[in-house]
Amino acid sequence: MRSVKAILFYFLNLSILSTAFSAVDIIAHRGASAYAPENTLASVDLALELDADGIEIDVHVSADGRLMVIHDGSTGRTCNEDVIIQKTHSHTLRQLDAGSWKGPEWKDEKIPFLEEVLERVPLNTKLFIECKTKDPKLFLQALEPLWSRHQERLQSSILISFHAPILSAFKREYPEQMVIWLIEEMESLEAYARHIKEGGKRLFDGLGVDHELGISDHDITTHLASGHLLSVWTVDQPRWVSYYTSKGFAFFTTNRPDLVQLNKNTQVTK
């Protein structure tokens, strides 16, 4: 049973997020990942320095049940050795160099524990945690021990995932938490829209769409009308900020939060 405070927190979040439409919030994708190695503390710190409205990170579960901040299920692309996260103890994962692939100046970057990001990102910066594991039980078990020390930060974070069962399981356990479903295919969006139109239950607080899907004005109107917050990823060209703002999107996810921020400010003062 969740506390009354937690439920109030949910409605406060909902109202803050719902009124954020006049200027879309700029979310730093995997941190400021155009400039620093993605999903590292360096990229999180840089996103904060660049004044991003929010930060998005990805998490996988290690063999010993720790939530590790990394995009891929294995370390080959972003570390100096290739191991599978789910089969590797966090102690071993922490020995890896998660920065040199981006440049020698990042050689000391490690794969962060989720706790380190929770400690770092202030409550006035939105935090989007993308769950990459497809196993709800594994995810919930790994998350459980973090609630006691990071309750406020977790309560004001948003869980995002491509995997609807992850979001449903999380929402069952923590009904007051915000969740956004990431949509890869138009068919999924259309099927969900039909479900809502036919009086089905709203399963998610928001919907995230891939910019590459080229979502139409009609789709946007339909899904906004269904009361979901809308989010788009990953857009690095500043000119799209005004487009998505005008369409009522709440969140704009980019690898280059500074360029987009600059453009947003320019447009606001015009």
Binding mask 32-71 for Ca ion (x = CB under 5 A): --------------------------x-------------
Half-sphere exposure of 125 (CA within 13 A, CB side): 24
Cβ atoms of residues 80 and 100 within 8 Å: yes
**Integer Cα distance of 47 and 29 in angstroms:** 9
223 binds, among Ca ion, ligand G3P, none (CB under 5 to 8 A by kind): none
Closest distance of CB 162 from ligand G3P, Å: 7
3-state secondary structure 103-118: CHHHCCCCCCEHHHHH
- The reply on whether position 258 binds Ca ion by CB under 5 A is no
Please pick, from the candidates 35, 36, 55, 56, the single residue that binds ligand G3P as defined by CB under 6 A: 56
- The reply on whether position 208 binds ligand G3P by CB under 6 A is yes
How are the residues of the chain apportioned to helix, strand and coil, as percentages rounded to the nearest 5? 45, 20, 40
Please pick, from the candidates 38, 109, 130, 258, the single residue that binds Ca ion as defined by CB under 5 A: 130
**Integer Cα distance of 92 and 266 in angstroms:** 46
Instruction: Considering the complex, state which of residue 154 and residue 160 has its C-beta at the smaller distance from ligand G3P.
Output: 160
**Integer Cα distance of 218 and 237 in angstroms:** 23
Closest distance of CB 148 from ligand G3P, Å: 28
- The reply on whether position 257 binds ligand G3P by CB under 6 A is no
Instruction: Considering the complex, state which of residue 58 and residue 219 has its C-beta at the smaller distance from Ca ion.
Output: 58
Residue range at the interface with Ca ion (CB under 5 A); choices 61-69, 75-83, 128-136, 186-194: 128-136
Please pick, from the candidates 25, 53, 58, 219, the single residue that binds ligand G3P as defined by CB under 6 A: 58
Relative to beta strand 157-161, strand 67-69 is unpaired
Q: Detail the DSSP E strand segments found in 70-161.
A: 126-131, 157-161
**Integer Cα distance of 161 and 167 in angstroms:** 7
Q: Which chain residues interact with Ca ion by CB under 5 A?
A: 58, 130
Q: Which chain residues interact with ligand G3P by CB under 6 A?
A: 29, 56, 58, 71, 130, 182, 208, 233, 253
